[in-house]
Amino acid sequence: MTQTRQLLQDYLGYLEIEKQRSIRTTESYQRYLERFMRWAEQEIQLSRVEQLTEDLIRKYRIWLHHRVDGKTGEALTKKTQNYHIIPIRSFLGYLTNRGFNVVSPSRIELGKQEDRHIDFLEPDELDQLLNAPDTKKLHGKRDKAILELLFSTGLRVSELTALNRDSVRMDAGEFSIRGKRSKIRIVFLSERAKAALIEWMNARTDIDEALFVRLVKTKSTDAKGQINLRLTPRSVQRIVNAFAQSVGIMKNVTPHVLRHSYATDMLAAGADLRSVQELLGHTNISTTQIYTHVTNPRLKEIYEKFHGKSGQGENKQEESGAQSESNT
């Protein structure tokens, strides 16, 4: 194993243990860094981190710019290209802190990317979706609770599926959630979400600790041979999308679209940006600001309704006064 490969393994361990990054984040960084390493090993026979120069990374960015996405057949978006570069900058920062002579991560700037497009549901679409499950059936009770909880709290789908029965404090109408980078935040239950959860919990006959479980006769087991009924994020995605299609919503509705809907609903109703940032668990307020691109157009209605109206009144008075003077 080359020095570079060994230090890459050390870095990935550092991410998981010392920085406490999630397994998903660590695997994502590993995938992008492995791709860069393979390219660099072919390009310059990379073996030592001292070979990680600004010129090498510039050449890699040019290669990414011309690379075609295997799924779409199109060039990589600026956003995807940045996803490749962010782990490299982090790896360089790790090496710099350990005293290796590599290019400073501050020299590697991210490319300017297109404004992020936010999909969210309009109030009538949201109402249709939340009322879609047939609550006379057990599946419907579960699915109703899932939909109401997603919109009530703005949870990420991975956060929702990680919940246990005892995670949610029904009496208080709030509970804490451990989100990205192990950041803890408080989320709140609407009365609709609370009612849906109580109905689902009262109807359950299983003893699984998970808040949301699969309702099947065949029970799969996990790596330890134990029965695992917990719903997966992919299962919840399918549930949400299926109900959206059933009520004729012509959008690709995912759990994250409900998170977007939660944020835009709060901002449109007058919530301040800092509060929404805290409720969503965003580390940087710049992440929350993407929702203002959606809610700001609503200000146009106010602008058109009120702008210039007082000035027009003053002009009319002035015109009237001028007319009077001309008549005297």
Q: Which residues are catalytic?
A: 156, 180, 256, 259, 282, 291
Residue 270 phi, psi (nearest 5):
110, 5
Other beta carbons within 10 Å of 8 = 22
The residue type found at 290 is I
Give the span between the Cα atoms of 122 and 6, in whole angstroms. 51
Phi and psi of 221, rounded to 5°?
-115, 155
What is d(CA 4, CA 44) in angstroms, rounded to the nearest whole number? 13
Q: Which of 69, 66, 75, 60 is nearest to 108 (CA)?
A: 60
- What stretches of the chain show up as alpha helix (H) in DSSP? 3-17, 23-44, 54-66, 78-97, 123-130, 138-153, 157-161, 191-203, 233-246, 255-268, 273-280, 285-288, 292-295, 299-306, 309-327
Q: How far is CA 125 from CA 84, 249, 253, in A?
A: 36, 7, 11
